[in-house]
Chain A
Amino acid sequence: MISAFFYESFYLGLRTLRRFFRVPANWIGIILFPLIQLCVFSQLFKDIIQLPGFRASGSGSYLAYLAPGQIAFTAFFAVAWSGSAILVEYRNGYMDKLRATPIHRLSILAGELAPLFIESAIMAGGILVLSVILGASIKTGVVGALLILVLSGLFGMAWAGTSFVPALLTKSEQATGTLSLLFLPVAFMSTAFVPPSLMPAWLQTVNAWNPITFLIEAIRPLMVSGYDWGAIGKALLAIGVMGAVLQTATLWAFRRLTA
């Protein structure tokens, strides 16, 4: 039973990855926005690093400060529209074709969600490499870099619920796209651009609960200073709680759709 579930999810997941990487627009679209922010903002606001709040982050340059945020942005973008694919296949009948085969119904969902770990990690990895090329460094080396990819991948997989739930509930690609955009301010209100000490009080409060901030604050020390296990633990907890809530909702919406 369990082995059948993994077998089915594995092959369905391979298909999902193929579908993603065979269309260059997918990964170019995801990487472009964070890349532009990384290039432009690191130059535009170069001197912002002189402000006192930045010193505490340990970043030597604004590029170094910005890079972790853009890696998190990439993981965010990698899954922002991830629910549309399952929707397209629900509409065109491919999901019925899968459902008429002797597989566990949830394998179809797992085959969509699990690959998002790899997609997010690879996309985030792309931006990580580009930031290093632009002049950022990774203090913790290869192991730290891998840890960054794992965190990004886990975050992507959990965050994907923000796209899957509206997709499965509204059954409309357009609604899914629009609702995904509504989450963009969450990314902008994180500590991607400025440290919390420079934020107004209300935004600091928001940030205490912003899952993207937890991810960024775990990645940043890995790049600029060293292992901060406290921050990593908090990020994992935040991702875990968010994932549990969002994916429970996804599961419910999926069962409702395929009932």
Chain B
Amino acid sequence: MASAVIEVDDLVKVYSGGTRAVDGITFRIEPGELFGFLGPNGAGKTTTIRILATLLRATSGRARLAGFDVETQAADVRRSLGLAMQTPTLDAFATGRENIELIGRLHRVRGAELKRRADELLELMGLTDVARKLAGTYSGGMRRRLDLACALVHRPQVLILDEPTEGLDPQSRLALWEELERISRDGTTMLLTTHYMEEADRLCRRLAIIDNGRIVIEGSPAELKAGVGADTLILQLDARDPEDLARQQDDVRRVLIGFESMEALTPEGFGVSLAVRDAGRAIPELMRRLDRNGAGVHVVGLKIGQPSLDDVFLKYTGRRIRSEAANEPIILGW
């Protein structure tokens, strides 16, 4: 097997204020992989990325990108790297084309090749019509795409994207996902961070859930979800009043005694929620039991919930990912 494109070994970053933003992270990304960091804001994703992009010095540990050490071979790392940060960073007073061409020039893409590459990327990102307009006039989605075009101009071996769809409307997000999938199919190794479960689920072949500066668990989305174990079955009950609801919930519990697929039953305001293995197969048996012995149970709705990455996050950290959103601290000068 070829050696890893990104190799991170026990990376630690302690900021001068004493915050341990990254607390011993180790991972490998193989050539051509699309690898994701999933975690709430403040988990240490951006700090790790900044170290990999040679923008920040690690406190300890080792990181290699494309075979080069980020500390001692920064120039080689930068040559191999395409980077798009959390908010698109563009020169607002330069046109779309000028933005791409400048970054290309700094990467020593020159002359006819630079022009061809800029044309190609503008076309790819759907920006040909606005190529001569100032980037400052672009919409959020267009800025993202232009930023991505800048990151791709020198055909980097590795593409690092920090929250690539943050702040996009659903349509633009979907379009960008398709774009990222296409880039990945072309063989570019990608590392992206996200706090959107759907994004990690859809895009990443492999991902690491990161929390408080540590990797909590790593695997493919399917593996991680399988690790949660059970599916969730939601039975909605039609009850007259709370006593009636309680009675029906007891009936359900009684009816389901000995139902072997079931792992847990939780009474809820709407009825009951069941943790079952392989919900699809369990449903017929569940219905048969309710039909035979559940005369007093009025089921008005049945919903299968497959475990989401949110459940994975919950299982390993004890918290939901969404509620953790805390914005980056504002750095105050004078």
Give the distance in Å from the alpha carbon of A100 to the alpha carbon of B331 in the complex.
21
Are B91 and A101 in touch, CB under 8 angstroms? no
- Residues of A within 8 Å of B103, CB to CB, are 97, 101
Q: For residue A23, which residues in chain B have a CB less than 8 angstroms away from its CB?
A: 93
Say whether B89 contacts A94, CB under 8 Å: yes
The 8 A CB mask of B143-159 against A (1 = contact, 0 = none) is 00000001000000000
Distance of A153 Cα from B106 Cα, bound (Å):
27
Q: How far does the alpha carbon of A94 sit from the alpha carbon of B89 in the complex, in Å?
A: 5
Chain B hits for A19, CB < 8 A: 91, 93-94
Asked whether, in the complex, the Cβ of A11 is within 8 Å of the Cβ of B94, the reply is no
CB 8 Å contact bits of A95-125 with B (1 = contact, 0 = none): 0111111110000000000000000000000
Contact A18 B98 (CB under 8 A): yes
Contact with B along A72-86 (1 / 0, CB 8 A): 000000000000000
Out of A15, A92, A100, A174, which one reaches B334, CB within 8 Å? A174
CB of A97 within 8 A of CB of B334, answer no
Residues on B with C-beta less than 8 A from A8 are 106
- Is there a chain B Cβ closer than 8 Å to A256's Cβ? no
Residues of B within 8 A of A92 (CB): 87, 89
Q: How many residues of B contact A (CB 8 A)?
A: 30
A residues within 8 A CB of B79?
102
Any chain A CB within 8 A of the CB of B226?
A: no
* Cβ contact within 8 Å between A97 and B134: no
Distance to closest chain B CB from A227 (angstroms): 40
CA distance A81 to B90 in the complex (A): 21
**Chain B residues, Cβ within 8 Å of A171:** 331, 333-334
Question: Contacts A101-B78, A103-B106 given: A15-B89 contact, CB under 8 Å?
Answer: no
Pair A97/B94 contact, Cβ less than 8 Å: no
B275 within 8 A of A: no
Bound Cα distance A98, B94 (Å): 15
Contact-residue bracket for chain A: 20 to 34
Q: By the criterion CB–CB under 8 Å, are B91 and A102 in contact?
A: no
Q: Contact check, B107 vs A96: say whether CB atoms are below 8 A apart.
A: no
Which residues B75-111 have CB closer than 8 A to chain A? 75-76, 78-79, 81, 83, 85-87, 89-91, 93-94, 98, 102-103, 105-108
Q: How far is the CA of A12 from the CA of B98 in the complex (A)?
A: 11
Distance to closest chain A CB from B330 (angstroms): 10
Residues of A within 8 A of B78 (CB): 100-102
A172 near B: Cβ within 8 Å? yes
| Closest Cβ–Cβ distance, residue B314 to chain A (whole Å) | 32
Q: How far is the CA of A6 from the CA of B105 in the complex (A)?
A: 13
Interface presence of B55 (CB below 8 A): yes
Residues in A with CB closer than 8 Å to B76 are 102
> With the chains together, A97 CA to B106 CA distance in Å?
11
- Chain B, residue nearest A4 (CB): B108
CB distance A94 to B334 under 8 Å? no
Interface membership of B54, Cβ < 8 A: yes
Determine the residue in chain A with the shortest Cβ distance to B99. Answer: A15
Q: In the complex, are the beta carbons of A22 and B55 less than 8 A apart?
A: no
Write out the residue numbers on chain B whose beta carbons fall within 8 Å of the beta carbon of A98: 106
Mask, A153-197, CB within 8 Å of B = 1, is 000000000000000001110110000000000000000000000
A174 neighbours in B (Cβ, 8 Å)? 334
Known: A92-B89, A96-B55, A96-B89. A170 touches B106 (CB 8 A): no
Residues from chain A with a CB closer than 8 A to the CB of B106 are 8, 11-12, 98, 101-103
In the bound complex, do residue B134 and residue A15 qualify as a contact, i.e. CB atoms below 8 Å apart?
Answer: no
Q: Which of B53, B76, B103, B334 has the most CB of A within 10 A?
A: B334
Q: Is the CB of B102 within 8 A of A100?
A: no
> Whole-angstrom distance between the alpha carbons of A259 and B136 in the complex?
29
Selected from A11, A18, A97, the residue in CB contact (under 8 A) with B105 is: A11
- Report how far A15 CA is from B89 CA in the complex, Å: 15
Q: Is there an interface contact between A170 and B333, defined as CB atoms closer than 8 Å? A: yes
Report the separation of the CA atoms of residues A11 and B106 in the bound assembly, to the nearest whole angstrom.
8
Complex Cα spacing A25 to B102, Å = 25
A251 to chain B, nearest CB (A): 20
A233 contacts the other chain (CB 8 A): no
Which residues on B sit within 8 Å (CB–CB) of A102? 75-76, 78-79, 106-108
Nearest CB of B to A110, in Å:
13
Is A93 in the interface zone, CB < 8 Å from B?
Answer: yes
Q: How far is the CB of B69 from chain A (nearest CB, A)?
A: 15
Bound CA–CA A100/B81 (angstroms): 8
A99 to B81 alpha-carbon distance, docked (Å): 12
Q: Which residues of A contact B108 (CB under 8 A)?
A: 102
Docked Cα-Cα span, A96 to B84, in Å, equals 10
> 7 tightest A-B contacts by CB?
A172-B333, A171-B333, A93-B89, A101-B106, A102-B78, A19-B93, A175-B334
A-B contact pairs, 25 of them (CB 8 A): A11-B102, A11-B105, A12-B106, A15-B91, A19-B93, A22-B93, A93-B85, A93-B86, A93-B87, A97-B83, A98-B106, A99-B54, A99-B55, A100-B53, A100-B55, A101-B78, A102-B76, A102-B78, A102-B106, A102-B108, A171-B331, A171-B333, A172-B333, A172-B334, A174-B334
Footprint of B on A, CB under 8 Å? 8, 11-12, 15, 18-19, 22-23, 92-94, 96-103, 170-172, 174-175
Other contacts beyond A93-B85, A172-B334: 16, CB < 8 A: A8-B106, A18-B94, A19-B91, A19-B94, A92-B89, A96-B53, A97-B89, A97-B150, A99-B55, A100-B54, A102-B75, A102-B76, A102-B79, A102-B107, A171-B333, A172-B333
